[in-house]
A and B are shown apart, each in its own frame.
Chain A
Amino acid sequence: MNEGIPRPSPFTTLPSVVSFARRILRWMMLTRPIRFTRFGTFYILFSIGVGAAAINTGNNLLYLILGILLGFIVVSGILSDSGLWGVRTEWRPTGTLYAGEKADLECRATKGWFPGIAVQIESHWQGLPPLSVLAPWIPARGSVPLRVTLVPPRRGHLTLERCRYSTRFPFGLFEKSHTWQMGNEWVVYPHITRLPWQEMERLGRDYSRDTSSRLGQGSVPFVLRDYRTGDAIRQVHWKASARRQRLIVKEMEEEAGEGDLFVLKAWPMDLDPQTMERFISFVASLVFAAYEQGRPVGLALPNASFRPEYSRAQLHRILEKLALVDPYKDRITPPEDIDWNGRVADVVTLWNEWGKRYVH
């Protein structure tokens, strides 16, 4: 009778069954260490006491109360599991990370089908004590941003090894947790010290190549000439016009700002590791200060050279290099010889002259 109607294959539901089974298996395989809270310990001991009293007296009301107490434990387990199941976090620094400086990281916590309530997110960082942040409420199938502040202890890689999600929801009887391996990595730039303004000014005068001997739109007058039709009135040099009794206009020099080039021919191997770190911090601070003063900055290091350039990307490139450099391995190759009209600053000299006084 039903010959014309195709029968649904029994295998059509198979993928969903397999997926469901896989989810169940994953749920079962998930390790959830349970730790009794103080209140939970009392609760368990009290339940045992009520059980003993029920057995001793045979009072069925005590059995009922025991059932309620045990029921709360089971319900607590189910709810806390639901509250933890599917918690994930994505970590992102809100700014640049500098060694020894406070840094904010945004932790975006997401949740599965059940909301996460009072989830404690404990992040374990390499070389740092664990950091905790409480997510009071993570909406179901939604996310919530959280902020974690940390101080990276040293330059280099900052690694988030794992996150432990724990909750005492709903009744505070137990703390259930599960740990998620993360492996996120960020670069921490060397510690930046605010260098003295006078030294940086002198540095600019001595070493900075900041003019181009070309007409341009700079702020320094370059040449005076007679007025021509089409010149802007604001270009008129009124004093010179008064002196010469005709309209004279001023033309400005182009501000080339080719900037500073700091050169480190070889890492000063005579420094002990701690002083070497201070030295690297000094180099980074030099670069940073030059950039802050609006000058293009370059750096020539063993194995790496950065031609002067004024851009944020350049600053990050240099700082990243300094963050990851290992002076004890990079000493072999001398830096690339960059022609910079001989106006290069040797950072070792600067370090010896005044740098070591300011960088601690």
Chain B
Amino acid sequence: MSISALNAAALLSAALGLASISLTGEISPLWISLSWSAWLFSFISGRFPGAQAKLRRLETAAVVGMIALLVVDFFVFRNTIFIAITHFLLFFQIVKLAGEKTRKDNLQIFLFSFFQILASCTLSVDAWQAIVLLAFIPTATLALFWNQMERESETGTPRDPAVHRSYRRMATLICALVLPLNVALTVVVFIIFPRVTINVTLPGYNSPRMGYTDQINLTRTGSLEQSAAVALWLAFPHPDDRRLWSGYLRGDTLRVFDGRQWSTASGRVRRFLPDSNGVTFIRPHVPSLRLIQESITLLDTSAHTVFTAGRPIRVVSALPSLQENEEGTLHWISPWHRALHYNLIAEPFVDTETKPVDLALPALPMGRIRVLTREVAGSGPPLLQAQKIESYLRQNYQYSTDFGNQAAANPVDYFLFDRKQGACGHFASAMAVMLRLQKIPSRVVAGYYKGEWNEPARCVVVRERDAHAWVEAYIPGKGWTSFDPTPIPDATSVSQRLVLVHQLNQYWDYLSYQWNRLVIQYDLYSQVNAFETLKSAWWPHWQFRFHRARQIKGTGPEAAAEERGPFPWKKRGSLFSLVLSRSPLSPVGAGHPPMRPSVFTTSFWPGWPAPATPKRRMKRAGNSRSAWRRFPT
């Protein structure tokens, strides 16, 4: 079994393309296994020349078939356009891998594997893409080089074996040269390429895939997939804030229940626009409540929901606008298909407002539930009743991700009396209904619970399987209070029990986190920040003299002289450390300015408003000293 260098490079790239598609998890196992089988078969396909010749004759028909498949896939199976295109690519790749392999066929195999990698980049932005892209560079180098060399030998004289040996040495040399050079160029292009997102909506691009949903449907059948994909990263710049966090990350508050599905109540919506610094002011701060600072990286933004721990009062993001519904949940309405990073300042959640809908019961038979509720809750104060119901559900029902094969007409009744097991949505729905039967206003909150602390990244990793629903009951004198009737399953997975595996998982998560922070999150703001960092590194003396002279005002002439000094930046370390400390590469919150300028108010593009650098802010504010107090840096 001898294969040419081009064939080997093409098969290598095919393996890479298939691996990237497989790792997205978006393509059905049937397609994946078929593709890998074809890849394995390609090593021995040369032994069946007759079959290859037949396959060659069928190629035209296969192309027509593929187009038909694309149409059927998109319109009949209702796959998104990207999934349909990926199926199309896989089908073509299977035909090519199984068939005869001339130079052109090998080139096509390589090109299709590249398209697969491209498709996988639109389907998933996980950290393994970095490995795939890194491996793609030498693979592509080899494939393109050997393709060209074979092409030249097709037109010229038969190749001398000595020349072939020289080519092999050259291929190795080129690979060694191209990899670092291309990586460096890629990084440069990546950093300096202008980030002007147009956001023209593409059908099916970034379709919803997360465990979170803003509508809890109790009539679902089948089983709930426990996806380990990271949904968001939650960091607390101040470690003390983490201790205050209850573990619940609020998404939507669901008040309307029709017996089968929970949804948000329609009502008044408030819209917020960020100021010139990119800060969106949601509500005034209640001085008695302690503030919590959070930094969240939302990987899947398909729900358009700003998740928060507590009630947000300030949000700093690149979003052009935010809107808050009556339940206090923040959403964005502008198209935003990629990961979103936002910082926010929140205060503990306090809400004392109730509505008639919080007591509304669905038009379904409630007889058995009412009897059970009376038995369980008794007739004590609302808080006690709520605690009794919560406790009863936790102790007498089991958590299960299997919804069964039957869609119940009255899901809460079916859960409480027949099935007696369910997911968080069933528990929360049952408790909310039972509370309403006791005339206690209640609602269901959808969001995430707990996640997993990642030590290397110093933040909480929240996965899709951490999507959760819990109950809030209105307790007179306390306001809306959270209850969680779901018996929390033992979250310690097998991998967590094995220390080494757990540590590796932690490091992989950390790498994913860094990948997301440095690559996926790199946007126009980061770009402007990076350029400004470089600029400030070139003239650090002026920068520091300007900043520090004002900040240390009043601390005494000696301290001022010491701080001001001839070269004050030297006291703080090297130029490199200065650049690093002010760059987006620095750890979470360490070097980031507290006020994040909006991407739409920077002067990166000519004619746009001036950036909100301290110097210009100063000028805008009349160059007075008091202006500096108003605009802290």
Contacts and interface: CB of A to CB of B under 8 A. Distances in A.
A68 B129 CA distance: 13
A67 B145 contact: no
A328 interface: no
A171 interface: yes
A79 B141 CA distance: 12
Interface size class of B (residues with CB under 8 A): 35 or more
B197 A57 contact: yes
A66 B193 contact: yes
Contacts of B122: 57, 59, 61-62
Given A64-B190, A65-B118, A134 B337 contact: no
Interface in A63-80: 63-68, 70-72, 74-75, 78-79
Given A58-B337, A60-B125, A170-B145, 7 more contacts: A64-B121, A66-B189, A70-B189, A71-B182, A71-B189, A72-B178, A134-B157
B602 to A, nearest CB: 16
A13 interface: no
Contacts of A59: 121-122, 125, 337-338
Interface in A12-48: none
A168 B522 contact: no
Interface string B102-130: 00000000000000011001100100010
A55 B121 contact: no
Given A57-B337, A60-B522, A71 B181 contact: yes
A114 to B, nearest CB: 10
B159 A136 contact: yes
Contacts of A173: 144
Interface string A311-334: 000000000000000000000000
Contacts of B205: 57
A68 B160 CA distance: 33
B153 interface: yes
A116 B118 CA distance: 33
Contact of A115 (B144, B170, B188): B170
A137 B170 CA distance: 10
A274 interface: no
A170 B148 contact: yes
B501 interface: no
A58 B197 contact: yes
Nearest to B162: A137
A60 B519 contact: yes
Contact of B186 (A56, A68, A137, A168): A68
Interface string B130-154: 0001001100110011011101110
Contacts of A51: 193
Interface in A104-141: 115, 117-118, 134, 136-137, 139
Contacts of B519: 60-61, 64
Contacts of A169: 148
Interface in B170-225: 170, 174, 177-178, 181-183, 185-190, 193-200, 202, 205
A177 B125 CA distance: 41
A276 interface: no
A136 B165 CA distance: 12
Nearest to A119: B152
A195 interface: no
10 contacts: A56-B198, A57-B202, A59-B338, A60-B125, A61-B121, A68-B136, A71-B183, A72-B178, A115-B166, A168-B152
Contacts of B133: 61, 64-65, 68
A172 interface: yes
A136 B160 contact: yes
Interface residues of A, number: 37
Interface string A219-233: 000000000000000
B186 A64 contact: yes
A55 B182 contact: no
Contact of A61 (B125, B153, B185, B187): B125
Interface of B: 117-118, 121-122, 125, 129, 133, 136-137, 140-141, 144-145, 147-149, 151-153, 155-157, 159-160, 162-163, 166-167, 170, 174, 177-178, 181-183, 185-190, 193-200, 202, 205, 337-338, 519-523
A173 B140 CA distance: 13
Given A56-B199, A57-B197, A134-B156, A67 B185 contact: yes
Contacts of B156: 134, 136
Interface of A: 50-51, 54-68, 70-72, 74-75, 78-79, 115, 117-118, 134, 136-137, 139, 168-173
A71 B187 CA distance: 10
Contacts of B183: 71
A63 B199 contact: no
Contacts of B522: 60, 63
Contact of B185 (A71, A118, A172): A71
B167 A117 contact: yes
Contacts of A79: 174, 177
A56 B200 contact: yes
A67 B338 contact: no
Contacts of B178: 72, 75
A171 B194 CA distance: 28
Contacts of B190: 60, 63-64, 67
B151 A56 contact: no
B200 A50 contact: no
A74 B167 contact: no
Contacts of B185: 67, 70-71, 74-75
Given A57-B202, A60-B190, A63-B190, A68 B137 contact: yes
A271 B117 CA distance: 75
Contacts of A57: 122, 197, 199, 202, 205, 337-338
B168 to A, nearest CB: 11
A54 B121 CA distance: 11
Given A57-B205, A68-B136, A72-B182, A172 B155 contact: no
Nearest to A147: B157
B145 to A, nearest CB: 5
B181 A63 contact: no
A67 B155 CA distance: 33
A7 to B, nearest CB: 31
Given A170-B148, A172-B144, A172-B147, A68 B174 contact: no
A260 B145 CA distance: 63
A170 B338 CA distance: 36
A3 B158 CA distance: 68
A132 B494 CA distance: 68
Nearest to B129: A61
Nearest to A170: B145
A75 B167 contact: no
A169 B177 CA distance: 15
Contact of A134 (B144, B155, B177): B155
